[in-house]
Amino acid sequence: QSVLTQPPSVSAAPGQKVTISCSGSSSNIGINYVSWYQQLPGAAPKLLIYDNSKRPSGIPDRFSGSKSGTSATLGITGLQTGDEADYYCASWDSSLSVVFGTGTKVTVL
Amino acid sequence: EVQLLESGGGLEQPGGSLRLSCTVSGFTFSSYAMTWVRQAPGKGLEWVSVISGSGGTTYYADSVKGRFAISRDNSKNTLYLQMNSLGVEDTAVYYCAKNNRAGAPSHIDYWGQGTLVTVSS
């Protein structure tokens, strides 16, 4: 079972914007929805984005998601120190499994 | 309020077995698929298994197929993961998670706090 590829880390100053890429294939992202999860240090993951670009209730619109072909992107604008966390993308795969991204650590400089 | 509470983790020797449980509240358990995800120390998330709301459909990661079994008791609002033939590579925090609908494909919308499984001699 494959994994989705993410950059290991991204960083920016407070108030700036970061984007996190998630690269998959025609068996997962290419044909299924993408979701994104935020994992704060020492905590369980939390749903951030689902169905490529939808935000659950309570998630600020500073977080956005998009998908094109076999890749997806998470954007965070107005970066805050509280956004320092690991971020994971995920997608259903045609092998009847779920694949997670390799994870990206966001650092606020 | 959706709540997921895992239990059953602990220290087990290689080749041994453990059964994890996840007791839920705050939603109609039988209406949603449930998932187990694990995270080895300092590593990323790894999907383990999913079970449909009725319990009639299950899928597994290749890494656990034939060794782990997911099940649910909808009368008790409880999800299980029976883990056999444990190896050191199974050491991880195991998260119980709720999916957004009864079947697959579906995404996880709520996570438990996790239970630590350590496999070591």
Between CA A100 and CA A91 the distance in angstroms is 7
Q: What is the pLDDT of residues B1-48, one digit of tens each?
A: 999 999 999 999 999 999 999 999 999 999 999 999 999 999 999 999
Distance of CA A17 to the CA centre of its chain: 14
The confidence score (pLDDT) of residue A52 equals: 97
Chain A positions touching chain B (beta carbons under 8 Å): 1, 32-33, 35, 37, 39, 44-47, 50-51, 56, 86, 88, 90, 92, 96-103
CA distance B73 to B84: 20
Give the closest residue to A47 by CA, choosing from A71, A22, A74, A68: A74
pLDDT in tens, A8-67: 999 999 999 999 999 999 999 999 999 999 999 999 999 999 999 999 999 999 999 999
Identify whether the C-beta of residue B70 lies closer than 8 Å to the C-beta of residue B60. yes
From B44, B59, B107, residue closest to A33, measured CB to CB: B107
Q: Which of B120, B115, B119, B90 is nearest to B9 (CA)?
A: B115
Residue in chain A nearest B100 by alpha carbon: A50
* Shortest distance, CA A52 to any CA of chain B (angstroms): 11
Sequence letter at residue A17:
K
Q: Quick check: B61 contacting A, CB < 8 Å?
A: yes
Nearest to B46 among A32, A47, A100 (CB): A100
Q: What is the DSSP string of B29-81?
A: GGGS-EEEEEE-TTS-EEEEEEE-TTS--EEE-TTTTTTEEEEEETTTTEEEE
| Residue from A97, A99, A104 whose CB has the most chain B CBs within 10 Å, to mutate | A97
Which residues in chain A are closer than 8 Å to B105, comparing Cβ atoms?
32-33, 92
What are the beta bridge partners of residue A49? A36
Q: In whole angstroms, give the CA distance from residue A46 to residue A66.
A: 18
pLDDT of residue A1: 65
Are the C-beta atoms of B73 and B51 separated by less than 8 Å? Answer: no
- Give the model confidence (pLDDT) of B57-78 as tens digits: 999 999 999 999 999 999 999 9
CB B45 within 8 A of CB B61: no
Q: Return left, alpha or beta for B24; rule: phi > 0 is left, psi -120 to 50 is alpha, else beta.
A: beta
